[in-house]
Amino acid sequence: MWGLIRIIIFNALIFVALLALGEFVLRSASTIRSCLTSNCDLRQITTLKLYDVRSFYSKDIGLTRFDDRLGYVPREGFDAVINEVGWKDVRLTIRNNGFRLNNLGMAPQVADVLVVGDSFTFGDQVSNTETWPACLERKLNRGVDNGGVSGYGAAQSLLRASIGLGKKNYSHLVFSVLVGDDFNRDRLSYHDGFAKPALVQNNNGIGWSAVSDPNRRGTHSNPSSFWNKPFAYLLERSMVLYAVVNRLRLPIDFENRLTVEHPNAADKDAIIRWTLKEFSNLKIDKKILLLQYRNLADKEVLNEREKILGMANALSLKALDTMDILKKYAPQKLWMPAPWGSHHTPYANEVICEYLFQRGFD
């Protein structure tokens, strides 16, 4: 009996030692990579806590409301100054039409440009006047409706665009896609605690699923139990565990962070084809596909980029690819510090805005 116990204890100690070694290797490699590509980020070897999985994104601050077609949308009339991890004195205002405020003083009724996308369009981590749609509004000297929504997939964003186009006439539509992220999100029925529709494969091809139950445990309206907090604690402090969870796309169910892939989700390449074809068929003459990035060197991102550009060319879509322009700048000038979001800085949003203004509105 004691022999068995000693074997179990010995194997457990070896397992813990291997985990510790893996943690050291991953943290060291990530630190070295940051030093080679930008300013050295030493927090990964000097700080125990790496991630904040229970921060602003987990809290129900009233920013969104349920929508039976889109899953969730920004709550009309929301207005607050946010100070959370990665968000410092960020003024966030949603107009009465559900779009984010750009510049004080611009009359909403004159808006004739609609932009849609995810958090890079909405402007996570920056204030109202620091987003690229706000910059575009200033340069055009006419209203721009910022229809970006944090966490949206590409097709989900396009669905919001089609709803917006059914309510109002616009001269231009800018469809922003975060390459490497957005099309994957369209395969999910829950994303970061939000219920959403997914693009699924059915007998008739590809179509939208119904919006998932918004009250399921782990969603914003029904936070998961206390017993999941130890897992969240470990996940925030282990690069190994965090990598495994993300690599395997494991369902995460704690503190409003439920993320689940739909069982009948369509293939990502099929979703890309379907979405770009839908974009091509929208009844608006001036359409612009804007490709944005969180990572400029990842092989999966580069492969997806080529697929998107190839399909866009086949459909004769006007595609503006920001990769080449972003490569001209130091990374620390373009993205907020990881791991708290890594969204574009105000400076980067100005770069994106100028590029879009020059190439898309000539």
pTM above 0.85, yes or no: no
pLDDT band at 37 (very low <50, low <70, confident <90, very high): low
What integer pLDDT is reported at residue 7 of this predicted model?
79
Token pair for 271: 């979703």
Mean pLDDT rounded to a whole number for the chain: 87
What integer pLDDT is reported at residue 217 of this predicted model?
84
Q: Which residues contact 315 (CB under 8 A, 6 or more apart)?
A: 276, 277, 280
Specify the residue for token string 């879009």. Answer: 356
56-221+263-360 folds as Rossmann fold (3.40.50)
Domain residue limits, the chain: 1-46, 56-221+263-360
- Among residues of the chain, what percentage have pLDDT more than 90? 60
Residue 35 has pLDDT above 70, yes or no: yes
Per-residue model confidence as pLDDT tens digits over 294-320: 989 899 999 999 999 999 999 999 999
Per-residue model confidence as pLDDT tens digits over 241-299: 777 776 665 555 555 578 999 999 999 999 999 999 999 999 998 999 999 999 898 99
Per-residue model confidence as pLDDT tens digits over 104-117: 766 555 778 999 99
CA–CA gap between residue 100 and residue 94 (Å, rounded): 4
**Residue 2: exposed, middle, or buried by beta-carbon count in 10 A (0-12, 13-18, 19+)?**
exposed
Per-residue model confidence as pLDDT tens digits over 311-346: 999 999 999 999 999 999 998 899 987 655 589 999
